[in-house]
């Protein structure tokens, strides 16, 4: 039996060599039992190339396959790529040390990803592709993963990139004393004794239990590959790296500057459309304008910078309709998550949590906090942007029911609930908190608001410690990636301290289930349990934006806010500030 593939035919036996489940997944796709999106996402995780997966999935669908990193998007092919120029970014420049410890510092990860690369890269459509890996192979039972490294990668000190380097990084990720979230993603599945060097360019992972998401974990922002000679501080400028840029300057609170890798650092492994090594730009700089986004906006409007980290609703309003700037938008699983410390009174009684969640007027919150640029939430940390999301009914705003539930929790007595929500000074978080405060008042609930700068909210684990908080969570390509990070017992990022035995059992089942239809049924239960008995409120999901000077080409938006800028180039003629 053969699969027709746009003038080419690939036999099932060839596809089965990648993984025996792929033909059945293709059969489910042909019967429309799974979506093209689900098919592409799953078969690429199993090691099938994105190009082959796209052909298998057929043509004419509206979900594109993004080209390999050495190519530019088709929309830019007609333009003549130019080299040179500096991209300047409004951001913050935070103190850093170990990249494996990046917890709430996505902007720091974006800065250093220009030099320190990843084993894999998950694109804006959720398709995970090899990066420093050339390929991978999963065993039939998903317990053994063979990682094949590229053999043409060199560090900037001239050393060849080998399996020894990857072994060193696994040691960092899986060391409890370092506390990496990558180790949290592998908790219960992989220990350092299960990581095996097979050859100079081959690593084998021997897992204790099946895990579907292995390749995607390697693209998480704390998973930057560092050398065995790492000096403990990624900002020192003394560490070799594999990327197209090298760190030239780093000053906390002021500036980060990366410059193009030169011949003295050895040739970079990716090439541009002109046949020369990437990057096209000469440099990328991040300038710190503090925590006030209005200063970032002014810097862009004045031409001091050409883009900004993770634009918010205020930024979107400022640049909408401005022809000098481009705005790219995509649905995401980013959210302002209302969370309750359920190890603290009164939240140990989940009825109090549920009562507050009933006071979310979701449509109003989405409309006012985010101008309707997103999707309504269901109080579970699985988004419609996740391919395994099981459709749910959006909860109504029911303050009368909330009041009755509180009376029940107080043994039939009417007792006013009074508490404080701590939140960062992000515009959407501020609006969310105020609308919740207003909505809850109709149930007799008094909410006091404590606003902090985003930097202070994230500093010294404040976001982990406050009894009730609103925390912005970034996008991850799968719900079954974020759930163990945030809601597994003992997980470093479990800010609500919630644990639920049935939820934990079903989550592990979902993480090890390859069959898409079967996993979808598990997700129904997971989402229901968290929505009804969980510790969080998710009123809405935030679309992600990228806003940039139109003179910079190949800029795009990523749902997780990743700055994948190796292929970005500058056309001075299109720059009104030049």
pLDDT of 75: 46
Percent of all residues in the chain with a pLDDT value above 90, rounded to a whole number: 73
Nearest to 24 by CA among 55, 50, 54, 56: 56
**Helix, strand or coil, per DSSP, at residue 573:** helix
- pTM of the complete model: 0.89
Task: Report d(CA 473, CA 409) in Å as an integer.
Answer: 30
Beta strands per DSSP E along 131-273: 133-138, 144-149, 195-199, 202-206, 245-251, 255-260
Of the listed ranges 137-146, 149-158, 175-184, 548-557, the one predicted with least confidence = 175-184
Arithmetic mean of pLDDT, 224-243: 95
Q: What is the pLDDT of residues 387-444, one digit of tens each?
A: 899 999 999 999 999 999 999 999 877 788 999 999 999 999 999 999 999 999 999 9
Q: What is the pLDDT of residues 254-308, one digit of tens each?
A: 999 999 999 888 899 999 999 999 999 999 999 999 988 999 999 999 999 999 9
Q: Are 250 and 259 in contact (CB under 8 A)?
A: no
Instruction: Please check the confidence at residue 200 and state whether its pLDDT lies above 90.
Output: yes
Domain with CATH 3.10.105.10 in the chain: 331-542
Of the listed ranges 12-21, 261-270, 519-528, the one predicted with least confidence = 12-21
Task: Report d(CA 191, CA 193) in Å as an integer.
Answer: 5
Report the alpha-carbon angle 375-334-235, nearest 5: 160
Q: Are 547 and 316 in contact (CB under 8 A)?
A: yes
Give domain 73-324+551-578's CATH superfamily.
Periplasmic binding protein-like II (3.40.190.10)
Domain with CATH 3.40.190.10 in the chain: 73-324+551-578
Instruction: Please check the confidence at residue 2 and state whether its pLDDT lies above 50.
Output: no
pLDDT of 63: 38
Radius of gyration of the chain, Cα coordinates, nearest whole angstrom:
24
Which of the two residues, 106 and 417, has the higher pLDDT score? 417
Q: Which residues contact 25 (CB under 8 A, 6 or more apart)?
A: 34, 39, 42, 43, 516
Instruction: Please check the confidence at residue 4 and state whether its pLDDT lies above 50.
Output: no
Confidence of residue 107 (pLDDT cuts 50, 70, 90): confident
Report the alpha-carbon angle 355-358-361, nearest 5: 145
Q: What is the pLDDT of residues 475-517, one digit of tens each?
A: 999 999 999 999 999 888 899 999 999 999 999 999 999 888 8
Report the alpha-carbon angle 351-407-352, nearest 5: 20
Task: Report d(CA 159, CA 447) in Å as an integer.
Answer: 58
Q: What is the pLDDT of residues 113-170, one digit of tens each?
A: 999 999 999 999 999 999 999 999 999 999 999 999 999 999 999 999 999 999 999 9
Q: What is the pLDDT of residues 45-87, one digit of tens each?
A: 999 888 888 888 874 333 333 333 333 344 444 568 999 999 9
Fold assignment, 331-542: Dipeptide-binding Protein; domain 3 (3.10.105)
Q: What is the pLDDT of residues 363-399, one digit of tens each?
A: 999 999 999 999 999 999 999 999 899 999 999 999 9
């Amino acid at each position: 039996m053969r699969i027709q593939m746009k003038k080419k035919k690939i036999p099932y036996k060839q596809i089965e060599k990648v993984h025996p489940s792929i033909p059945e997944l293709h059969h489910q796709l042909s019967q429309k039992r799974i979506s093209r999106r689900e098919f592409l996402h799953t078969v690429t995780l199993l090691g099938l190339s994105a190009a082959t997966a796209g052909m298998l999935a057929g043509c004419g669908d509206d979900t594109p396959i993004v080209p390999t990193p050495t190519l530019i998007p088709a929309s830019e092919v007609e333009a003549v790529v130019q080299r040179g120029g500096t991209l300047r970014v409004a951001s913050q420049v935070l103190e850093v040390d170990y990249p494996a410890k990046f917890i709430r510092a996505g902007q720091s990860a974006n800065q250093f990803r220009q030099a320190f690369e990843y084993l894999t890269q998950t694109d804006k459509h959720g398709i995970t592709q090899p990066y420093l890996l050339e390929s991978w192979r999963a065993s039939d039972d998903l317990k053994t993963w063979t990682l094949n490294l590229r053999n043409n990668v060199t560090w900037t000190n001239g050393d060849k990139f080998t399996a020894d380097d990857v072994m060193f990084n696994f040691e960092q990720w899986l060391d409890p004393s370092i506390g990496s979230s990558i180790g949290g993603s592998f908790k219960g599945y992989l220990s350092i004794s299960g990581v095996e060097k097979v050859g100079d360019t081959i690593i084998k992972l021997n897992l204790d239990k099946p895990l579907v998401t292995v390749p995607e974990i390697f693209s998480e922002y704390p998973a930057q590959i560092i050398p065995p000679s790492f000096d403990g501080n990624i900002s020192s400028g003394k560490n070799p790296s594999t990327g197209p840029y090298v760190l030239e300057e780093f000053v906390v609170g002021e500036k980060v500057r990366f410059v193009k890798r030169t011949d003295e650092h050895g040739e970079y492994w990716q090439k541009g459309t002109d046949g020369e090594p990437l990057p096209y730009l000469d440099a990328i700089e991040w300038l710190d304008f503090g925590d006030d986004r209005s200063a970032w906006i002014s810097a862009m409007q004045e031409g001091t910078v050409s883009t900004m980290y993770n634009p918010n609703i205020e930024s979107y309003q400022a640049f909408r309709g401005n022809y000098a700037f481009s705005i790219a938008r995509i649905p995401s699983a980013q959210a302002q998550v209302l969370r309750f410390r359920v190890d603290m009174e009164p939240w140990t009684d989940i009825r109090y949590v549920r009562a507050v969640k009933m006071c979310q007027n979701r449509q109003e919150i989405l409309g006012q906090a985010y101008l309707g640029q997103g999707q309504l939430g269901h109080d579970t940390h699985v988004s419609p942007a996740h391919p395994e999301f099981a459709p749910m009914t959006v909860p109504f705003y029911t303050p009368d029911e909330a009041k009755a539930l509180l009376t029940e929790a107080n043994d039939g007595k009417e007792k006013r609930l009074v508490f404080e929500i701590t939140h960062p000074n992000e515009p959407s978080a501020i609006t969310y908190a105020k609308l919740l405060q207003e909505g809850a008042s109709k149930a007799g609930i008094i909410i006091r608001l404590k606003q902090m700068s985003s930097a202070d909210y994230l500093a010294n684990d404040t976001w982990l410690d406050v009894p009730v908080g609103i925390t912005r969570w970034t996008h991850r390509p799968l719900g079954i990636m974020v759930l163990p990070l945030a809601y597994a017992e003992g997980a470093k990022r479990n800010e609500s301290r919630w644990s639920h035995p049935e939820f934990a059992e079903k989550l592990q089942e979902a993480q090890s289930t390859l069959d898409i239809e079967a996993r979808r049924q598990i997700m129904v239960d997971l989402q229901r349990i968290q929505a009804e008995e969980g510790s969080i409120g998710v009123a809405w999901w935030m679309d992600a934006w990228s806003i940039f000077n139109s003179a910079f080409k190949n800029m795009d938006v990523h749902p997780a806010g990743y700055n994948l800028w190796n292929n970005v180039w500058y056309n001075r003629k299109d720059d009104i500030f030049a």
